[in-house]
Structure 1
Amino acid sequence: MSQPLSSPPDDAPEAGPASTWKARHALLRRLADVVSLPTSRINAFERSVVGDLLVEMARLATPEDRLKMAHRLAPLAELPNGLMRLMLRDDPAIAGVLIEGCAGLTDADLLSCVRDTGHDHHRCIAARRGVSEVVSEALIEAGHPDVVDTLLRNTTARLSQTGIETAVALSRAQPRLCEHLLRRPELRPSGAYVMFWWSNEQDRRTILQRFAVSREVMQEVSEDIFAMAADEGWQDPVSRKALQFIERRQRNRGAIDKSPYDSLEHAITEIERQGMGRDSVAEIAYLSGIKPLTGAKILGDPGGEPVAILCKATGLDREYLTALWRSMKRPETLPDGSVHPTWERVQVTFEMLAVDRAQTVLRYWNWSLTSAMTPALLKAIREGDTDELDEYSIPERAAMMALAQDFGR
């Protein structure tokens, strides 16, 4: 007959380091094996009870033992909930084994881990295969730049539009994210056009090549709608705004009647002679069919590419691009007589874009910049409270002061 199992006493004294407790190590391995048994050998309730016991043991187990447990449990399609929660919140090296290799983790499990853990765990989740939109969104909202970087590099991860928009916003302070955002299939033109302002020259070129789309199809299907809207006196603000985006004409014909200049070309010629000033910025913007704030942002951009886009969208010839560049006192040559790289890049941008595509970019910019005018900022403009405008550049503040004239009417 086999010897009966001896019962462990409740008050046995503890002695020796944990590494010498062979029974503990063996029991952890055996119980982990039991949890790993197929459903034909153990039902869900039995697995749950074993898991509860493992949780209690794992709390006091050594990191080495917990790491071995993680490797044993990672292949499982189903984990006891309590054990899974405990191990996902363990040291990143241990939790990472499950995060990386356990296909049984649900979005709820990963979201809970994102909420209860920190940077290192987030980075492990961001690198996990097949991260879903909802988990990606939570990771991006946490705001760790290197976690977002890892997530954007993860070609198997899926990103929601909300997540993409948040990442675009983060890229303003972390421009290195722009390159990876531009590789994401989820990125849309609206996000790319906004990101253009803080992108480097190579990323700007990529944005224009990939996202400067034509409006030809929209123009074809809505050609007869313009006559309908005109018959209605352009009274419907919804259709009017949409048709303003679709139409081929960029310049504001109504602004010419109020302008001291006969045309946009005439304005640029005179401004080149007199020099660029606050009123000049607003005048060019009005004649170009954009808001003064948008015009100031374009003319104040250090990279220069937006100036080329403005000129191409409004149908200006290359000579007026040169005249506008000179009126801004921007360099054309280096001390050795060669073409200045910024001016060269501006000319290349002007040549590479079709008029219709340049208009799409310009009109998106006009929307995004003018929609950023918050009530607090409008109040500051109306009341002349310049303290609220310190974060803006000089040309932007000049444009805001020009806008204040409209608000006061």
Structure 2
Amino acid sequence: MSDPAHMPEEAAPAAGFRARHALLKRLADVVSLPASRINAFERAVTGDLLVEMLRLASAEDRRRVAARLAPLTELPNALARMLLRDEPDIAGLLIEQCASLSDADLVACARDASTEHRFLMANRRGLSEVVSETLLSFGESEVIEAVLRNNTARLSQVAVEGVVSLSRTDRGLCPHLLKRPELRPSGAYVMFWWCGPEDRRTILQRFAVSREVMQEVAEDVFPMAAEEGWQDPVSRKALQFIERRQRNRAAIAKSPYGGLEQAVEAAGDGMTREIATEIAYLSGVKPITGAKILGDPGGESLAILCKATGLTRGDLQLLWRSMRRPEAQEDGSVDPAWERVQITYEMLAVDRAQTVLRYWNWSLSSALTPALLRAIREGEEEALDDYSAPERAAMLALAENFGR
């Protein structure tokens, strides 16, 4: 009888001996035994031996072993680690079928393996927040889209905010992100600025919420704040967001135009920087918010401004014309952008339009601290975690404008 210790490995033919195939199968069977037949240490030792054999085995042998081990509820760590880093069609057997893989196994595989492995993992059922966040962190569009499409995957808010940021340059992610239950109004409102018409409509239908409940519970707080002379900036800012009135009465009293409608009418001969600034103040928003709205190529935000402030459809048309935007095409039909703007105006209730407008004003102006402005100018988007939610929203929405 020959001594296996003295048989050189290179003497074996490429296809392997029948004994190799049989031994691989038997060792895989041993690893698959229930806990009543084999203890954890025996399973680990068998797994280590199987790993050593698989290093020299053919792809087909490794595939057979992976298929045999995929249904296991307990898998030796070294064996799982090796197979997860194998060729995608082999690793995929475990990624897709093996329920016993831990988050640590999957995260390590995502970090060490290829885009193909991460794509397979993105389609795995029941992805945890930790694994999803790791997959999304690579910024690979096809992987991110697969995770967003995976209805069983769970996403953390950090991960969602990261995808919101990526969607500014990879706008194909927007429709998939808008279907995620984890997306909050803060992310949707800032995405609005770079989304296409259909996605904008979705945002307004889904996220333009009422403030009625907040108004009810804070009703008696307004007179309290008034008695204090509105000295507390924290409560004042929150109450400004909640209150029903949108127009700025103090600005109206000082305005040379006498009111918002008159300022809009004055813009009929052409929108100037001074009139735009005045319209913003009269509307109860900061000039930078007004500039963002008036400069919006899609135009839907202009409809939101008009509906929130109580301007009529005729006022909306005056503003549209003041910016030299077309109302009709060469064949006489309604310009698509102008049609969308009118539909947006009609579809939104005043209270909901105010919610969107005030959130924009909150996130695009109140959050613009000197540090944030500097970060926007310098393109420091990688430092988003250092800022609050409205500050992050401002950075994302205004980065393109300030980066010029």
What is the TM-score of this pair, normalised by structure 1? 0.89
- Aligned CA RMSD, in angstroms, stands at 2.0
Q: Secondary structure at the match of 2:351?
A: helix
* 2:388 equivalent in structure 1: none
- Residue identity in the other structure for 1:356: D
CA distance in 1, matches of 2:52, 2:205: 58
Query: Could you give the per-residue CA deviations for residues 209-265 of structure 1, whole angstroms, max 9, x where no partner exists?
Result: 111000001001111100000001111111111101000111112222332211111
* 1:406 equivalent in structure 2: none
* 1:339 equivalent in structure 2: 334
When residues 60 and 344 of structure 1 are mapped into structure 2, their CA distance, relative to the original with a 3 A threshold, is same
- Report whether the alignment pairs 1:238 with 2:238: no
The number of residues matched between the two structures is 383
* 2:294 equivalent in structure 1: 299
When residues 366 and 323 of structure 1 are mapped into structure 2, their CA distance, relative to the original with a 3 A threshold, is same
Q: CA deviation at 1:380?
A: 10
CA distance in 2, matches of 1:376, 1:137: 25
Q: CA deviation at 1:351?
A: 0.5
Query: Could you give the per-residue CA deviations for residues 156-191 of structure 1, whole angstroms, max 9, x where no partner exists?
Result: 111111111111111111111111111111111111
Correspondence list, 1:51-130, <5 A: 51-130=47-126
Find 2:349's aligned residue among 331, 335, 354. 354
324-333 vs 334-343, greater mean Cα deviation? 334-343
Correspondence list, 1:265-280, <5 A: 265-273=261-269, 275-280=270-275
CA distance in 2, matches of 1:185, 1:377: 31
- Report whether the alignment pairs 1:137 with 2:137: no
* 2:193 equivalent in structure 1: 197
The structure 1 segments of at least 4 consecutive aligned residues displaced by more than 6 Å after TM superposition are none
Correspondence list, 1:2-401, <5 A: 7-10=3-6, 12=8, 14-273=10-269, 275-370=270-365, 371=367, 375=371, 377=373, 392-393=400-401
- Residue identity in the other structure for 2:15: S
CA distance in 1, matches of 2:264, 2:342: 17
CA distance in 1, matches of 2:213, 2:51: 61
CA distance in 2, matches of 1:378, 1:367: 18
When residues 191 and 356 of structure 1 are mapped into structure 2, their CA distance, relative to the original with a 3 A threshold, is same
Q: Secondary structure at the match of 1:125?
A: helix
Query: Could you give the per-residue CA deviations for residues 262-310 of structure 1, whole angstroms, max 9, x where no partner exists?
Result: 111110100112x112222222111111121111111111111000000
CA distance in 2, matches of 1:313, 1:378: 31
- Residue identity in the other structure for 2:334: V
When residues 151 and 63 of structure 1 are mapped into structure 2, their CA distance, relative to the original with a 3 A threshold, is same
Q: Secondary structure at the match of 1:9?
A: helix
Q: Secondary structure at the match of 1:217?
A: helix
When residues 45 and 160 of structure 1 are mapped into structure 2, their CA distance, relative to the original with a 3 A threshold, is same
Q: CA deviation at 1:41?
A: 1.2
Q: CA deviation at 1:377?
A: 3.3
CA distance in 1, matches of 2:143, 2:330: 44
Asked whether the equivalents of residues 106 and 131 of structure 2 are also in contact (C-alpha less than 8 Å), the reply is yes
Asked whether the equivalents of residues 70 and 94 of structure 2 are also in contact (C-alpha less than 8 Å), the reply is yes
Q: Secondary structure at the match of 1:110?
A: helix
Q: Could you list the runs of 5+ residues in structure 2 that have no partner in the other structure?
A: 378-397
What is the TM-score of this pair, normalised by structure 2? 0.90
CA distance in 1, matches of 2:376, 2:63: 58
CA distance in 1, matches of 2:120, 2:50: 24
